Amino acid sequence: MIDFPAFGSAVGMLAGSPEAWIWVVPGLLIGLLFGALPGISVSMAMALVLPATLYMDFLPAIIFLTSVYTGAGFGGSIPAVLINIPGTSSAVATTFDGYPMARKGQHNEALGAALFASCIGVLVSYIVLFVLVQPLAEIVLRIGPYEMAAIGIWGMVLLGSIGGSTVAKGLFAAAIGVLCGTVGMNTAGYMRGDMGIPWLLDGVPTIPAMVGLLAASQLFALVNAKFIVEAEEHRTISLRRILDGGLMVLRHPLSQLRGTFVGIFIGAVPGIGSSIANLISYGEARRASKDPASFGKGNVEGVIAAESANSSSEGGSMATMLALGIPGGGATAILLAAFAMHNVVGGPRFMEQNRDIVYAIILSNFAQAFVLLVVGTGFVFIASTVVRLPLRYLIPSVLVMSTMGAFAIEGSIAGPITLFVFAVLGWLMSRYGFPVAAIVVGLLLGRLIETELLRAWQLAGGDPLYILEHPVAVGILVLMVVSLVLSVRRDVRRRRAQRAEA
Amino acid sequence: METTVRRHIAWAPLLLVTALSGVALAFLLEARGVSLDPQNLLLLQPTAWLVLLLWAVLAWGFLRARAPAGPAGESRADILRILAMVAAFGGFILALEPLGYDVAICGFALVGLAIGGERKPLALLLFPPLFSLGVVHGFRLLVPYPFPTSLL
């Protein structure tokens, strides 16, 4: 599985080219900064720096871009923890427990855990990529629409009752999210729910809606508070506590490993990527936990599960890109564009003929994971000062920044309008105990599930029993039903216990 | 000893789920009006049915609520302050294009500060224009699309 002569050549290539290394720290810093800005996605950050790589050699250019990728992958978790805004769509699940931890004054620990989980996730995913790049890519090729739809539905059901007071409220919120996700033209060409608004033909703008639901709605609820962290003694910024957060990751190796492998696998599937991986990993961690009720209230395992998955999905998507030449998402598409700019064609032939370069890229990513640990700690230390800012300044400032981010994504007023509508919806729903995160999940997965179900329907010619020829999809669906039954049973038991106490 | 639990109707959440279910029903009817082809309704129709079914379950619960809806310990003034911020944010979004992003940002920052309880005149005078200046110039560097401004 490992080509040792090529490996030796890769080590020699990296050792003899200092210009490949000087771009790692700037790349990570750019990624961290852009990832932390709401509305600037990983792919947007990479697109912004892509022209600068034209005058670099091929290897330094790719190392620079992958550094931006790695930095932005973690950068998104910083606003997710501190102000409940996922800097990127891959940090949605980080908000579920990261922000409640920050509200309790555990922002240092939450950010430390997110950083360490990300670094370990990146490292393990590239180790897996190093050993299993070819077999992983072959498995990915066997995944069809049935399996993709089943993965989407799996994520939906796992997350249906996040933080909500009852399963009914969770499912209601998730179903509303799915309906929002089906607005506009579907892949069969039918237009529904667009209300004659041209920009709704492409569907509800996901990122502005997500920021509105998660962040703006929470900011409204905070209008009467003075600081994000109420107790003054908890507003400290401490390097020791950031490192303590890192140690928490080592105390929960199962959550870390589960998240990492979910991330690698889901990240490798083209079209799904890190924005889904973090949700599925979070849902799995919650399902497997002995204390699922603590999730959504500041359980560090939730942060670890989300961050390990979104970071490790980088390695997964790189596997598909390097071995097959198929970009799993926007970021790997930009990497392929960088390949093309240097007259290199990605795909199986590149992998076969330039295995030493592939290994050099993988090895440099091992180093990036360690450098991110140092650079990220410094960045987190500075970013944490947000908890010391009075909310009377923070609320209007963050609402304005979110609005500008929403505009930046859509390039029109459609983004800000969507942000406002979903902010009000999110505020009302969270006020009455509906899990807003479930709407976000429904919105993110609704379109994916519909697209894949349609493909499956077309392949099967409308025969629902055709699914029986896809045992993996059936297995996932059975798991989903079992998970739902367990959730309902847990809900009924809890309500009975509450009644008995009353 | 048996204690009696006082029940009442939780109007606000009942109205919310009813409004959302109404929108879901309208969406379903509109989609059915477009086409009855399964390729149009494959996910939408069962999801809309699920929403309506869950509305019945939730509405039954809200008609027999045990505790008042909404966060505990919230005064009328607290709710009014939140509603003022929601209204100010809505006004800001509506003002972006007609007034220009710079003026709208400056105005919203000022109103937002006032709603949040800032009363120092110097802060109210300096923060909004400086913040608008930073945001407008920062986003001009980052965002490839032009956005209308009146002064900057």
In this structure, of A18-27, A358-367, A478-487, the range with the lowest mean pLDDT score is A478-487
d(CA A303, CA A286): 11
Q: Which residue in the set B54, B82, B144 is minimally distant from A172, CB to CB?
A: B54
- Is the per-residue pLDDT at A203 higher than 60? yes
Asked if B146 has any chain A CB less than 8 Å from its own CB, the reply is no
| Secondary structure of A97-161 as H, E, C letters | HHHHHHHCCCHHHHHHHHHHHHHHHHHHHHHHHHHHHHHHHHHHHCCCHHHHHHHHHHHHHHHCC
Q: Which residue in the set B24, B37, B145 is minimally distant from A411, CB to CB?
A: B145
What is residue A1's predicted lDDT score, i.e. its pLDDT?
65
- Is the per-residue pLDDT at B48 higher than 90? yes
Full residue range of the structural domain in which residue A23 is found: 4-386+393-501
Tokens of A207: 């990122």
Residues in B closer than 8 angstroms to A176, CB to CB, are: 20, 24, 51
CB count in 10 Å sphere of residue B68: 11
In this structure, of A266-270, A459-463, B48-52, the range with the lowest mean pLDDT score is A266-270
Q: Exposed (0-12), middle (13-18) or buried (19+): which is A490, by Cβ within 10 Å? A: middle
Share of chain A above pLDDT 70, in %: 91
Q: Averaged over A147-164, what is the pLDDT?
A: 68
- 3-class DSSP assignment, residue A185: strand
Residue A192 forms beta bridges with which residues? A184
pLDDT in tens, A409-455: 788 899 999 999 999 999 999 888 888 878 887 887 788 788 888 88
pLDDT in tens, B68-111: 666 667 788 889 999 999 999 999 999 999 999 999 999 999 99
ipTM exceeding cut-off 0.85 for this assembly: yes
Tokens of A50: 């892509």
Asked if B52 has any chain A CB less than 8 Å from its own CB, the reply is no
Best of B1, B89, B105 to disrupt the A interface (most A CBs within 10 Å) is B89
d(CA A420, CA A211): 10
Instruction: List the Cα angle A146/A208/A454 in 5-degree steps.
Output: 20
Tokens of A238: 């401490």
The DSSP code for B69 is S
pTM, whole model, 2 decimals? 0.77
What is residue B92's predicted lDDT score, i.e. its pLDDT?
96
* Cβ contact A35:A74 at 8 Å: yes
φ, ψ dihedrals at B8, nearest 5°: -150, 175
d(CA A91, CA A35): 10
Q: Averaged over A188-205, what is the pLDDT?
A: 89
What's the sign of the alpha-carbon dihedral A133, A138, A139, A143?
positive
pLDDT in tens, A302-347: 999 999 998 888 888 888 777 777 776 677 878 888 888 888 877 6
d(CA A404, CA B101): 9
Asked if B18 has any chain A CB less than 8 Å from its own CB, the reply is no
Tokens of A272: 């799904």
Find, among A275, A265, A274, A268, the residue nearest to A327 by Cα: A268
Best of B143, B147, B149, B152 to disrupt the A interface (most A CBs within 10 Å) is B143
Tokens of A296: 């959504």
Tokens of A16: 């003899």
What is residue A38's predicted lDDT score, i.e. its pLDDT?
66
Tokens of A397: 């400032």
pLDDT in tens, A79-109: 888 888 776 778 888 988 998 998 888 888 9
Mean pLDDT of chain A: 83
What is residue B1's predicted lDDT score, i.e. its pLDDT?
47
Q: Exposed (0-12), middle (13-18) or buried (19+): which is B121, by Cβ within 10 Å? A: exposed
B45 sits in the region (left: phi over 0; alpha: psi -120 to 50; else beta) called alpha
* Cβ contact A79:A268 at 8 Å: no
Length of chain A (residues):
502
pLDDT in tens, B1-31: 455 566 788 889 999 999 999 999 999 999 9
What single letter denotes the amino acid at residue A324?
Answer: L
> What is the count of structural domains for chain A?
1
